Amino acid sequence: MVAASVFIAISTFLAKGVSGHFELEAEGLHPLQITAGRFIFACILWVTVVAVKRISWKPVHWRFHLARAVFGWSTVTLVFWASSLMALADATAISFLTPVVTLVLAIVFLGEKVGIVRWSAVGVMVLGSLVLLRPGTSAFQPAAFLALGAAVTSAVESTLIKRLTALEPRLQILVINNLLGLVIAVTAALLVWRSPTMAQWGLLAGVGLSMSVAQVFFLTSMRDGDASFVVPFMYSTLIFAGLLDFWIFGDAPDAIGFLGAAIIVCGAVFLAWRESHVKQQ
């Protein structure tokens, strides 16, 4: 999961760079086009893998795949967009509110009952988001709503992934998801498309390939480890994203930003621990 976090941070960092933060001899690309590049190169990778391995296909649950592709494309686009407008660590921290949305979805659609302890963890995370967003002050960033949107779509996507991994092989899920995502992403990118330079194509390849590697590490950790144990390690993405952002762009959260991110992570880790405890009982 830590390895997945490294490659997620690299992918987001490259997406921020190609959006206009790297000093290239061309105007930055629109987030919709960056997302399309991510799916183009991911598809090249996975189609090649399938051609080499010649996998045997299991029954495909197209309804779940299509829904997952739509929400997955939305998550990637919103994260890339938010990251192009604000510090990577801030955008990443806000998108980590996914457990809050997942809990609400479980109550609404699965009829789960939530006790005071889990609600307290959610309250801590919401408090952290308010500290980070600072609504009503001059430090408030409207771009944060993009990261909040990513938290919502990511929660829905995570629910669909959990369903799919119980029905189909991991490689089949990756291939179908990326092919469907490619169709959606390219169709949306046609609205803003302009020819990337060779340097930009290289960065887009980095975005797509690093995210693909992250997917492999993420799915493997979810398959081989207890989710409540491995998921908290994903919050190390904050560290890697923050270091890259500061090292190259000089962007870093201020003290209040660090405090808000720390509160969100503490709430999320506590919630993961609580879920593990409840499961054992």
CA-to-CA distance for 21 and 37, rounded, in angstroms?
17
* Residue 76 exposure: Cα atoms within 13 Å on the Cβ side: 31
Whole-number pLDDT of residue 14 = 93
Higher-scoring residue by pLDDT: 108, 76: 76
pLDDT band of 222, cuts 50, 70, 90: confident
Whole-number pLDDT of residue 137 = 57
Sketch the domain layout of the chain as residue ranges: 2-280
Count of Cβ atoms closer than 10 Å to residue 165 Cβ: 14
CA-to-CA distance for 167 and 155, rounded, in angstroms?
19
Whole-number pLDDT of residue 34 = 94
- For the whole model, what pTM was predicted? 0.81
pLDDT band of 228, cuts 50, 70, 90: low
Whole-number pLDDT of residue 275 = 67
Whole-number pLDDT of residue 246 = 83
Which of 1-10, 152-161, 213-222 tops mean pLDDT? Answer: 1-10
Task: Tell me: pLDDT of 192 over 80.
Answer: yes
Q: What is the mean pLDDT of residues 55-74?
A: 91
- Asked if residues 28 and 83 have their Cβ atoms less than 8 Å apart, the reply is no
Whole-number pLDDT of residue 38 = 93
Least confident of 38-47, 63-72, 82-91, 203-212: 82-91
Q: What is the mean pLDDT of residues 225-239?
A: 74
CA-to-CA distance for 114 and 167, rounded, in angstroms?
27
- Asked if residues 79 and 147 have their Cβ atoms less than 8 Å apart, the reply is yes
Q: Torsion angle of alpha carbons 189, 32, 221, 205, nearest 10°?
A: 70
Whole-number pLDDT of residue 110 = 61
Whole-number pLDDT of residue 269 = 76
DSSP 180-233: HHHHHHHHHHTTT--PPPHHHHHHHHHHHHHHHHHHHHHHHHHHHS-HHHHGGG
Q: Each residue of 17-57: pLDDT tens digit? A: 998 888 776 788 999 999 999 999 999 998 898 888 877 88
pLDDT band of 234, cuts 50, 70, 90: confident
